[in-house]
Structure 1
């Protein structure tokens, strides 16, 4: 009673303790240091290969997915021990305030066999035992549960693959947005300064009435429209560097500089038959493989229901020791077997079987639905990639024309045959064309990554995040150069196996 009162009084004294500002700041500093732990510093311009490698190696969301997979692996490892017998060691102390006295009577007459009660046990004694118990029903259920945990571990791996596909797609898009911002930054600022000067000249001409008011206002409106476009582009591209830095876990304040790769997108994948792509997606797609594992877990649940219908056989053996001096044998061993069955299981068996069967039907339906959806995604991703590739080529051609027009305009400006408005307009048009070219390029890379994700393909070194950054970068670069073939292996590498070039593999 005293212990219960102490426990109740302790619970009554618990009050909420909100986290204070100093504690938040201290923990924030520790979290930032933890996030930056082991991240190699950026020593120069970042290529697309290095950005991919840094994202795979240092991205915090990917680290979380890998930890989830590690938890699933540990759950599988611990579930294996549930199949072993239970070996229990126990020791105890017993005390009573009076002797354990016993009376005896004659079995025939019912008269007391002894005049006085006799003591059968000491007031204080210790007991200890070591017993081995094995429940065959628990063994069967534990075996099925371990098989289910093995499938859950595979599900965690497929979810990590899916998250990796999304990460690589985001890194590609952010990289090309950063490249466009880096290339257009100086040109945009020069054009804004030029437009501001042309606007000031137009306003001065209006004040001095050097031209008609309506022409002056139209001139100003065109300049202001160009300024609005230029400032909108500048604002749109301002966040690209921060997004890329976040994906590769780089300091957000770092002036990140990227290097554009020389390789261009290829249409080789579009030459493959849709049927071949469908077969590859069915074999390797992460979502579909996850549904297959869920179906296996549901089927295993039906086996657990059937196992519960069997009698429970319990085998035990143990060594015991008691210090009671009234015992003739203070140390002994005992073995036993016990079989039991819950008769109410017969009543619940039909309902449990229907529940398990409905779970299997649901898992099968989800698998079929996922397969049909993935087949549709293969067709859509292939179509989107073809359209994105065509749009990029068209945007590239338009940019080439606008850039040549801008160069001709610059030559005319040197001979004083072109107005500032025309020069600003030509610069703005060229900048917009270059921006649209980079946007089309980013969309094409995103479409390629989407098709790659639907087909379930990724660099073979994607799981080898323990490689040094330079080796991982080289391996990712080799895989990216051959990704348009989606699985066609590159030439045999001459480097060490740890740094071997990667192919796109499931």
Structure 2
């Protein structure tokens, strides 16, 4: 046995000098109170709205500046590619997918045991001594002694594992995986909407570009004919009823022209916004030749409804939400169970009085929150009620999807018939215009009648273009109602725009002509 002697570096008792301990504590309290009051008085400045607006505009301009330049006329598939690559709504959803991916990785780490390293330092201005008193005689049995130094450091490394925490972390990880899939489905929904909007805006913008000059010429011609008719009315050269009827026809044509100009003039700005170009950006479009070839229905009504129920993002989201809710049921059940927590530690203490300054510790503890046992039935009933609500919502969603597919299908069929009628009407009007021009040269009809036929010819041509753009819109809506985006395109910043446009054209001209095959039923 070795006698325990005080350490060589033990501090001797220090005489009181300078400020007393009470004065030091008072000054520390005063300083702490002053800091607290100073923190409460710290009011953040008001945001400068004007500077913020300029900064946002500069950031948007910088973002647009990183995009591929518009070097020539934009085709439909280049417009789609630009929208998928640069559209800000699509970028938000893409970043949300990346966020859910990082959150999933973080949830995976929750299942690991806890490993905590800690270190501490303690000091005092005198020795921590103690005396002993006999319980039998009440007399002091030992003189005062100490078993610790005035200054010491401690360190430990503890590995702990909780069975209940591990089970809950596993459930949360599965739920986070479903949340990641939910974000992917939301992105698919945005992509479907973007493609539908691009196709609609593109064909309307094509109609606007193709007929802009003709509509402007028609408006000038209508205005000149209107002035001539008013002059005839004032001079009473022709029958008043005939002149007024002619003016009424001219005003009706002028109103139709202005309405078409209003509808078509917005399409190019909408297309620019979808492609993330400045709303006032000047660009040209590829103007396809007029054709009587129209898209065809890709399948029967029943096949299209089943395809919609299979691919619509909203239907898939509902399935993932059901699975997330089942995870909540599992979590509620696990919380009602007892848990076992084990701790394995490596410890060190610099106190020289200790016989074993390093040691390994092992402990285990079983705990059970009995109140969770009583809470579980109530939580289970609440979650079951939510599951019943989600089931009913799924039925309503199924009906909505089926209805939307049927409506989109009927609309496409009707617009195909309207396009056929508009095409035939244009052919008839072209023949009428040819007859009117010949009759005017032979002086068989008046100039007013020729002007009327000229205006009707331009209007019939514009109506045909509008009918064709409406059919293309219905075609895009048909695919959006089924939730189809089944093209293998990796939309990222590194994919060249030209390559993306080629893949989109290949999809929409070849693979999109038929519906995806339904998987074989398992026996």
- Is 1:31 the counterpart of 2:68 in the alignment? no
Contact 1:178/1:237 (8 A) holds in 2:
yes
1:374 paired to 2:401 = yes
Aligned: 1:179 with 2:179: no
Rg bigger for which structure?
Answer: 2
Which structure 2 residues correspond to residues 1-400 of structure 1 after superposition, within 5 A? 1=29, 2-3=31-32, 5-34=34-63, 36-116=64-144, 118-211=145-238, 215-261=242-288, 264-269=293-298, 272-400=299-427
User: Residues 74, 418 of structure 1: CA spacing in aligned structure 2 closer, same or farther, 3 A cutoff?
Assistant: farther
Greater Cα offset, 88-97 or 312-321 = 88-97
Shift of residue 293 of structure 1? 0.7
1:258 partner SS: coil
Over 3 Å counting, the alpha-carbon distance change for 1:377 and 1:209 in structure 2 is closer
CA distance in 2, matches of 1:297, 1:455: 25
Root mean square deviation, CA, Å:
2.5
Segments of 5+ residues of structure 1 without an aligned counterpart are 490-506
Q: Distance in 1 between matches of 2:127 and 2:432?
A: 113
Instruction: Check the 8 A contact 1:223/1:424 in 2, yes or no.
Output: no
Change over 3 Å in CA distance of 1:343–1:5 after alignment to 2? farther
CA distance 1:162–1:27, shift in 2 (3 Å)? closer
Where 1:461 maps in the other structure, the secondary structure is coil
TM-score by length of 1: 0.88
Counterpart CA distance in 1 for 2:434 and 2:146 is 116
Q: For 2:204 and 2:297, locate their aligned partners in 1 and report how far apart those are by CA, in whole Å.
A: 25
Once the two structures are superposed, residues 124-160 of structure 1 have per-residue CA deviations (whole angstroms, 9 ceiling, x without a partner) of 3322222111111111000001001111111111111
* TM-score normalized with structure 2 length: 0.85
Secondary structure of 1:88 counterpart:
strand
Q: Closer, same or farther in 2 for the Cα pair 1:485/1:461, shift >3 Å?
A: same
Q: 1:496 maps to which residue?
A: none
**In the superposition, relative to structure 1, how do residues 4 and 63 fare at CA in structure 2: closer, same or farther (>3 Å)?**
farther
Say whether the 8 Å CA contact 1:482–1:488 is kept in structure 2. no
Aligned length: 485
CA, structure 1 residues 317+163, in 2 after alignment: closer, same or farther (shift >3 Å)? same
Counterpart position of 2:16? none
Tell me how far apart the structure 1 counterparts of residues 406 and 229 of structure 2 sit (CA, whole Å).
54
With over 3 angstroms needed to count, the CA separation of the structure-2 counterparts of 1:414 and 1:483, relative to structure 1, is farther
CA distance in 1, matches of 2:219, 2:129: 106
Structure 2 stretches of 5 or more lacking a match? Answer: 1-28, 518-523
